[in-house]
A and B are shown apart, each in its own frame.
Chain A
Amino acid sequence: MKDCGRDYGVTIELYLDKELIGPDLEEFRAHLEACAACRVELEMREELSRLLHRSRPLYSAPAALRDRVMRATELMPSSAPYALPRLRRRILRVLTRPVQSAGRGVRHWPMLVAAILLVAAGLLPIPGILRQVSANSYIEAAVAAHRSSLNGGLPLEIKSESPSAVTAWFAGKVPFNFRLPEAAEEVGHEQIYRLTGGRLVNYKDGYAALVSYQMQQQTISLLVASSKSAIAAGGEEVPSGGIVFHYSKQMGFAVITWSTHGLTYALVSSLPGSGRQSCMVCHQNMSNRDHF
């Protein structure tokens, strides 16, 4: 180091990172033997590296993400670079989005080949699968947003109990029009939940609206997106009032999704009971309770 008449700081870094080669490496090794100051400096820097290496990996990928990626990598044909672009696109669309209802994926190559052949022959019900995949993707997004809300990671951008104020705030910010029902629509019936506000969240290439409600110390999240990008499908299906509600459990949360008037909704909560029962928690005092 400087004590030895020359600043070896950069050289020590290069040595530590195995970037020092040839005569430079030999020269520095010889210098190290003779220079106590540089040995101390090297040891100090090595200590930091050892500490960092002990904490590897810095983060481990969550199991759900690992499953999704593994499914994608395992199902991709080995001839992928040479496959027809259209076929590749189809496989990509099916495989690279989360499919919660699917199994652990194809683990063995005979099954892999069979699956690819089926896709290639167009024998798989592609539209149905894509529909379910898209629906699951929306549910995952809604649950992730809800969890972040609970953790305080997604603070409300508008805090208001007024549906009209929240509706007005979203106007022009999301690529669709929607209106939260006024509390007055339930005149004569006690509302056991209350609106607390909303915020924007990223969904696919645009924004979705996250609306937050509070009920008996519990937060309920409602994710609203255009039906062009989000689909409600799968789960326990309950038709009511011309709308089909889809109930499912995702990561311990009750999720209800439905589509109407060009919008798709996902309601996420920790409400107990089956789908129909969980609806009744909020609608028990309302005029439309008989619908559930």
Chain B
Amino acid sequence: MRRYSAFAIAREALRHHTGWERAWKSAAPKSRYDVVIVGAGGHGLATAYWLGRNHGITNVAVIEKGWLGGGNTGRNTTIIRSNYLQDPSAALYEKSRSLYETMSQDLNYNVMFSPRGVLMLAQTEHEKRGYLRTAHANALQGITTRFIGPAEVKKICPIMNIDGPRYPVLGGLWQERAGTARHDAVAWGYARACSDMGMDIVEQCEVTGVTRDGARVTGLSTTRGDIACDKLGIVVAGHSGRLAEMAGFRLPVESVPLQALVSEPIKPCMDIVVMANTVHGYMSQSDKGEMVIGGGTDGYNAYTQRGSFQHIEETVRALVETFPMISRLKMLRQWGGIVDMTGDRSPILSRTPVENCFINCGWGTGGFKATPGSGWAFAELMATGASPLTAAFGMERFREGRFIDESVAAGVAH
């Protein structure tokens, strides 16, 4: 792999950019691998990357039904934060956030991590008390957050209307080192690094069945032939239920559409990320100047990657009250992603009832922020059989009643 650098740009400028090579090799699947990861989104690729980097396992294939990073990795609103209430979540998300800080250097790929700060608005008394509690919990977990009052909110984000009356701003939970990153670049950077380690990234390859020898997984059938493997990692987000069904077990997961939309580009007006959880409105400004808006999920199962119009209407209606200046903006694009929701709104990183088959799913509406940490922890689980970061996230927690309850703890957003 040729490294990207300022020198490389200068060199290519002198020879009409003829020396750039493909970032990752397009591979045909071999008949056998040590580890096969299903799903070439951020989490799947990060898992493969850390399997190679931390555990020396490079006979790995990452197979993908569509194109690389074309699912929720390319559909989210790119928010990165770690201000969670429960200790296991805080540990996992903070690991992830800290890996984002050095990701561009680690991968030699600019993922445009921008620690611009994330502000979670308290717009009801209940929410305010909840965030005060989270700020105290974060202090104990060693995560730097603080609760700020309305005056400081207005200072950090002048375009906000803090007076209400419908949605007054009573303060906010402020995490200064949280922010955003370029979502596609995260997938591309990992793919390039995995390919460089000799791993195969196989796109346009849909899994049609999971083969087992008794209770042990032995491989996959795919639209591009059978692939044998010692270990199988399922990292397919909204379609986890389908893969689990093929492997022969059922998940505590339901799939629903989550929507986002972006406006026409405007001049810089907002240099932080604001999350208004009461009204399901999440907004930041991209480097291109578009206002990136995330909405709420549909209340019923669907795989449409579209979502219901009423949720967009709700989100925009509420945001216009808090940000009056966006009322005249035209929206350019709207889309949906299929998110996998668990009962406690926390992910599953787990062994499964099928031996040597592991699953990483249930990230619900907030998986992007967890991409590097999820890969780190899941790779450790797959390689060694256990990881301190995943210990609390086993799928058996639902049977045993050991929930990591972020749905009540964090209001709604994840």
A binds B: no
Q: Which residues of A contact B (CB under 8 A)?
A: none
